[in-house]
Amino acid sequence: MDFELTPEQVMLRDAARKLAQQQFRQNAARWDRDEEFPEENKHQLAQLGYLGLSMDKQYGGAGAGLVSTYLVVEELAKVDLLTAMIVHDQNVSPRIIANHAPEALKQRLLPGFARGEIECSIAWTEPQAGSDGTAVRTTAIRDGDDYIVNGQKIFTTFGDRADMHLVYARFGPSTGAKGLGTLIVERERPGLTVRKLEGKMGVRGAAENELFFDNVRVPASNVVTLGDPQNSRGFVKPLTIYNGTRVGMGVMALGVAEGAFDLAREYMTVREQFGQKLSEMQGLRWLMADALIEIEAARCLCYKALALIDAGKPDPGLCSIAKVFATEMAQRVTVQCQQMFGGYGYFGSLPLERMVRDVRMLTLTGGTTQTQKNVIASHIFPNS
């Protein structure tokens, strides 16, 4: 078992670290305060080829794999979770399309994703279909060479700015996973309405949105995975991609925890109370030791899961374990690091206040902690 990064991966990680620390750190508070998407960050990421890292070279990507991709994401998350999500999201809907869409659709869309010219949201969650992902009511009914889409989606991240949406819909009368499939709906389609949800706690530059489909006509050539009321294949196929997505949530949480840890460590070496530096107080030293233990454990879980995916041997149970451990760890560690700053850490003049709010999202999105524990338990008791 090899735990060493390749020289190319080390160079990629170090370049991303330099970019994050020197270019992105200084404006992270502004994106949060103004609830603004960091267009300039995305432009730099696209120029550097970071938005097509895991995409096949034949479609304009780098073919670098998920381990390499998330080394970049981890470094970005240390300073700004919002910017890290830009790279992460380019590994969700584009990977579903790359792995499961007809070749014509791949040729039409994937080069644009790799160049950062196209954005595609995931439109799956509905008011009654959250953790119960098969409770989808949105329909896609065949009408000649088109499908007519009707329904509603909620919590669609980046849905306000996406050029298109990967929509989960029911392709005929059915229940549960049977009949579900996915198709692309472009933002300019008549009958599609997008409404931003206000009052988001963290990652405020990534808007959450409601989508309303009122007889939206979409060509059949936009179908990614065809739903069939007789089976669940149209729903199950994309699920393989979410193994990496779940671990990606864990890596972003890992990055936030590391960023908070680095800030606390630096502060503790200069802050004095009771005639001692905080870094000299045994109780606080032990708290930081505990934090580092958890950070390193999360790193091992996440990158082992990603390495198995890259090797063509995905372990869905391990992917859920990595997400649960890393996202829950990051909440504990980030709050503990905030505590080191005392009252100062409670104010937005320091990054810790934003980090505490941001990291909370990662235990919810991509499958809640409780949903992931159900997945883990199903691997423990496969016949129950």
Over residues 163-181, the pLDDT tens digits come to 999 999 999 999 999 999 9
Q: Does domain 7-115 sit in CATH 1.10.540.10? A: yes
Please report the pLDDT score of residue 384 as a whole number. Answer: 80
- Amino acid (1-letter code) at residue 356: V
The arithmetic mean of pLDDT across residues 86-92, rounded, is 90
Residue 314's alpha-carbon distances to 303, 307, 319, in angstroms, are 12, 8, 8
Considering Cα of 194, then 198, then 200, then 204, what sign does the dihedral take?
positive
Chain position carrying tokens 């790193």 = 299
Per DSSP, the three-state class of 226 is coil
Using an 8 Å Cβ cutoff, are 216 and 149 in contact?
yes
Please report the pLDDT score of residue 92 as a whole number. Answer: 87
Alpha-carbon span 371 to 374, nearest angstrom? 5
What would the two tokens of residue 162 be? 């996406």
Would the pLDDT of 284 be above 80?
yes
What would the two tokens of residue 139 be? 């329909």
Using an 8 Å Cβ cutoff, are 225 and 239 in contact?
no
Alpha-carbon span 371 to 304, nearest angstrom? 21
Burial 227-244 (b: 16+ CB within 10 A, else e): bbeeebbbbebbeebbbb
Please report the pLDDT score of residue 340 as a whole number. Answer: 97
What would the two tokens of residue 200 be? 């988001």
Alpha-carbon span 138 to 124, nearest angstrom? 9
* pLDDT band with cut points at 50, 70 and 90 for residue 90: confident
- What is the percent of the chain where pLDDT is above 70? 100
**Which of the residue ranges 186-195, 299-308, 321-330, 341-350 would you say has the lowest mean pLDDT?**
341-350
Would the pLDDT of 363 be above 90?
yes
* pLDDT band with cut points at 50, 70 and 90 for residue 154: very high
The arithmetic mean of pLDDT across residues 106-130, rounded, is 95
Please report the pLDDT score of residue 149 as a whole number. Answer: 98
Q: What pTM value is reported for the model?
A: 0.96
Q: Using only C-alpha atoms, what is the Rg of the chain?
A: 21
Contacts of 376 (CB under 8 A, 6+ apart): 317, 320, 321, 324
Please report the pLDDT score of residue 2 as a whole number. Answer: 79
Would the pLDDT of 280 be above 90?
yes
- Amino acid (1-letter code) at residue 295: I
Alpha-carbon span 284 to 271, nearest angstrom? 12
Using an 8 Å Cβ cutoff, are 38 and 205 in contact?
yes
Domain ranges of the chain: 7-115, 120-231, 235-380
Average pLDDT, the chain: 96
Using an 8 Å Cβ cutoff, are 180 and 237 in contact?
no
Helix axes 316-339, 351-359, angle to 10 degrees: 150
Using an 8 Å Cβ cutoff, are 318 and 308 in contact?
yes
For residue range 30-71, list pLDDT tens digits in order: 999 999 999 999 999 999 999 999 999 999 999 999 999 999
Would the pLDDT of 27 be above 90?
yes
Same CATH fold assignment for domains 120-231 and 235-380? no
Give the fold, CATH level 3, of 235-380: Butyryl-CoA Dehydrogenase, subunit A; domain 3 (1.20.140)
Per DSSP, the three-state class of 347 is coil
DSSP 205: T
Residue 51's alpha-carbon distances to 61, 204, 261, in angstroms, are 8, 21, 27
Alpha-carbon span 373 to 366, nearest angstrom? 13
Would the pLDDT of 295 be above 90?
yes
What would the two tokens of residue 323 be? 């997400």
Please report the pLDDT score of residue 360 as a whole number. Answer: 97
Please report the pLDDT score of residue 3 as a whole number. Answer: 85
Contacts of 190 (CB under 8 A, 6+ apart): 216, 217
Q: Does domain 120-231 sit in CATH 3.20.20.70? A: no
Would the pLDDT of 91 be above 90?
no
